[in-house]
Chains A and B, each alone.
Chain A
Amino acid sequence: MTTEATAEATTEAPAAPREYSWRMPANWWTRNRHYFLYTVREFTALPLALWLLWLLVEIRRAGDGPARYAPHSSTAFVVFSVVVLAFALYHSYTFLTLAGTILHFKVLDRPVPARLIVLSQFAAWAAASVVVAFVLIWFAHE
């Protein structure tokens, strides 16, 4: 092998062209209405989880018997509960609306329309709410 050939063989291969890597901006969720609504939808689960943890605490307190139990009723807690209720309703609405996209099945070899699936979900939600409300009111009168 000649000196020239050796030099050519040891020459490093040219570096691959440099690319500019993508970096997601921290405020990506404010750049589009859909991104913002998606972020709100996901975020609503957090205060709801906090309220449910509080409910567990209340259930434990209620275990001491009705005579020694007084429900937490400060103004701050009432306001927090109302805000959480609004979040829960929004979260439920988005969840049930998306069911039309997720659920898919056929009846008599014909696909059930997404709108019908969504309506059935809301009907089931309303029926379950009525049953729960009835049980709670019935127990309160006992």
Chain B
Amino acid sequence: MPDKTITVRATRFDPERDREPRMQSYEVPFTDESMVVLDALNHVKSHIDGSLSYRWSCRMGICGSCGMMVNGTPKLTCNAFLRDYWPRPVVVQPLNNFPIIRDLVIDMDDFMHKLKSIKPWIIRKQELPLGAGEHRQSNEQIDDFRQFSECINCMLCYAACPVYGLNNEFLGPAATALARRYNLDSRDQGLKERLPVLGEAEGIWECSFVGECSVVCPKGVDPAKAIQQTKLDTTMRFVLPYGNRE
């Protein structure tokens, strides 16, 4: 065993045996300053306890699979360096606000349902034939929605949102940010198909602007901004004469 180690405390939950989650500690060699929390979990899985369950894939902050609570903060574990925690223990728990399936694996069905409900794709009233050429956009038109398109669906924003934690009917940050991403896209014509979902009581109006969703986003997306601006836009559509026009 190398001299330098770090203690990793991970949530364990076996639905067939445990009534509730428990914590288990592991001593992991801390051999390299570039090690991240996901490396420590992989070491546990490979060398100490193969039954530990968690999600991961790309290991480079793109796929959004490895989101967990690290010392109480939602983080991508592939982007949380052990050097920022050592010599204190690292406490790894499943994302807050979601049901736990096993160990560090949460049930993401609710998020997937919400994501689909806002139709996160370009909607055209009538598709142009391929021969008509591409849909051209200026840099300014892309700048309107670019930051919202950076979302990787990692759900850290949902884990940080106390409104969602108290009421999981709330549409939530990432789904609204993606709805805004498409509503602001000059190629899209699906605003009226998304408005009923955004405008219902559990849609944007449930948000009371805690703002933590934007703080924890690993990709610099500002979902709180998307929600507040959508509130303003939908209000203007209601208040202004001819505001409901496309």
B99 touches A34 (CB 8 A): no
B72 touches A31 (CB 8 A): yes
Pick the contact of A38 from B15, B16, B107, B210 — CB < 8 Å?
Answer: B210
B15 touches A19 (CB 8 A): yes
Pick the contact of A101 from B21, B99, B215, B228 — CB < 8 Å?
Answer: B228
> Which residues on A sit within 8 Å (CB–CB) of B98?
22
The chain A residues found within 8 Å of chain B, CB to CB, are: 17-22, 24, 28-29, 31-32, 34-35, 38, 42, 98, 101-104, 109
A104 touches B101 (CB 8 A): no
- Considering only residues 75-118 of chain B, those with a C-beta below 8 Å from chain A are 96-102, 107
B232 touches A35 (CB 8 A): no
Interface size of B as a range: 20 to 34
Majority SS at the chain B contact face: loop
Contact pattern, B 193-212, Cβ under 8 Å of A = 1, otherwise 0: 00000000000000011111
**B40 at the A/B interface (Cβ < 8 Å)?**
no
> Which residues on A sit within 8 Å (CB–CB) of B166?
24
A115 to chain B, nearest CB (A): 14
A97 to chain B, nearest CB (A): 11
B162 touches A28 (CB 8 A): yes
A19 touches B99 (CB 8 A): yes
B107 touches A24 (CB 8 A): no
B215 touches A102 (CB 8 A): no
> Which residues on A sit within 8 Å (CB–CB) of B96?
22
